[in-house]
Amino acid sequence: MIADLARCVAEAYEVALPHRGKGKVADYIPALATVDPNRFGFALALPDGTVHTAGDVDIPFSIQSVSKVFTLALALRRLGSSLWTSVGREPSGSAFNSIVQLESENGIPRNPLINAGAIATTDRLIDGRGDEATVAEILDFLRARAGDDSIAIDAEVAASESETGARNRSLGYFMKGFGNLHHPVEEALGVYFRQCAIAMSCRQLARAGLFLAMEGRDPITGEQLIKPHRARRINAIMMLCGHYDNSGEFAFRVGLPGKSGVGGGILCIAPGQGSIAVWSPGLTEAGTSLVGAVALEHFAYAAGWSVFD
């Protein structure tokens, strides 16, 4: 039976609604701490261009670590498999900003979706071009994927990320000490802080993720953006590492590749089917949107879209 997807979206939204207000809004920077915890949006983008929505789907939010998926795709496109000399693809089982494994593992982060791995990936993406050109590539890519040139970096969030970025700088310098950063730490971090500060709505983010559901091809523009096997591998990494030490729980409950951000966004990919973006700012301890995960769990079940179905 083919599920009525509009209905699945509406139901997932309704089921998750009572959970609003649970979870903790990220408070390490003022611009995130002041976001209304009752915000909640759910957008499903399909390859034919249809978007099914519920709630606050047109309000931009800070995509934070969801950006790591896109910089990974861009770095793989630019560097190919040589990226894997700088970063691994194993789950870390630790917090997003943990430094401990780096010491015993030669400064090579476990995967590209923890902070250390994302910083190493962004560093490789720079590829000698400088920070401005790299930031421009990331923004241009997201604008083209979302079909919306208004997507921008929130300058206040970017400045706060840098001001409070001691821990991320530590990760950068630690990797530099092992010879695993190719550019100055401040250059890599300068790009990383800005990619985290990109603001997008659920509608834009769901649309932007479609190429990952469609073997690397943007179904709306028809462009083959990355090779099919790379899209498959990014999905594998999202499934195993997209929620840090909560990745097993998310796979258990939702059964789809996903990536969380501390702004409360989650991008979820249903291979061959579509791309889903949810946003609600209250977080679990692992930094995943609590309401968003409930909604995705229900949606994947109702649609029969768990990759294990």
CB atoms within 10 A of CB 302: 18
> Are the CB atoms for 243 and 258 separated by under 8 Å?
yes
Binding residues for substrate: 65, 115, 161, 168, 192, 244, 262
In the list 168, 201, 273, 289, the residue contacting ligand GLN (rule: CB under 6 A) is 168
Does residue 278 have an active-site annotation? no
In the list 71, 98, 111, 115, the residue contacting ligand GLN (rule: CB under 6 A) is 115
**Residue 111 or 273: which CB sits closer to ligand GLN?**
111
**Residue 176 or 232: which CB sits closer to ligand GLN?**
176
In the list 65, 235, 275, 289, the residue contacting ligand GLN (rule: CB under 6 A) is 65
Does residue 65 have an active-site annotation? yes
Name the catalytic one among 68, 86, 87, 294: 68
Q: Give me 135's structure tokens.
A: 């930031």
Least distance in angstroms from the C-beta of 282 to ligand GLN:
14
CA distance 87 to 116: 9
Does residue 244 have an active-site annotation? yes
Does residue 292 belong to the site contacting ligand GLN (CB under 6 A)?
Answer: no
User: Site for ligand GLN (CB under 6 A): how many residues?
Assistant: 11
Does residue 97 belong to the site contacting ligand GLN (CB under 6 A)?
Answer: yes
Least distance in angstroms from the C-beta of 88 to ligand GLN:
18
**Residue 91 or 287: which CB sits closer to ligand GLN?**
287
Q: Give me 137's structure tokens.
A: 């590539």
Does residue 100 have an active-site annotation? no
Instruction: Tell me the sheet residues that pair with 153.
Output: 198
**Residue 13 or 96: which CB sits closer to ligand GLN?**
96
CA distance 268 to 265: 10
> Are the CB atoms for 9 and 42 separated by under 8 Å?
yes
> Are the CB atoms for 172 and 181 separated by under 8 Å?
yes
Kindly identify the residues of this chain, within the stretch 193-222, that bind ligand GLN according to CB under 6 A: 196
SS3 55: strand
Kindly identify the residues of this chain, within the stretch 66-85, that bind ligand GLN according to CB under 6 A: none
136-144 own/partner pairs: CB under 8 Å, 24+ apart: 137/74, 138/67, 138/70, 138/71, 138/74, 138/191, 138/194, 138/195, 138/198, 139/198, 141/70, 141/74, 142/70, 142/198, 142/200, 142/204, 142/208, 144/221
Q: Which residue is nearest to ligand GLN (CB)?
A: 65
**Residue 219 or 258: which CB sits closer to ligand GLN?**
258
* DSSP symbol at 217: B
Does residue 173 have an active-site annotation? no
> Are the CB atoms for 305 and 270 separated by under 8 Å?
yes
Chain residues binding ligand GLN by CB under 6 A are 64-65, 96-97, 115, 161, 168, 196, 261-262, 287
Give catalytic residue positions. 65, 68, 192, 244, 262
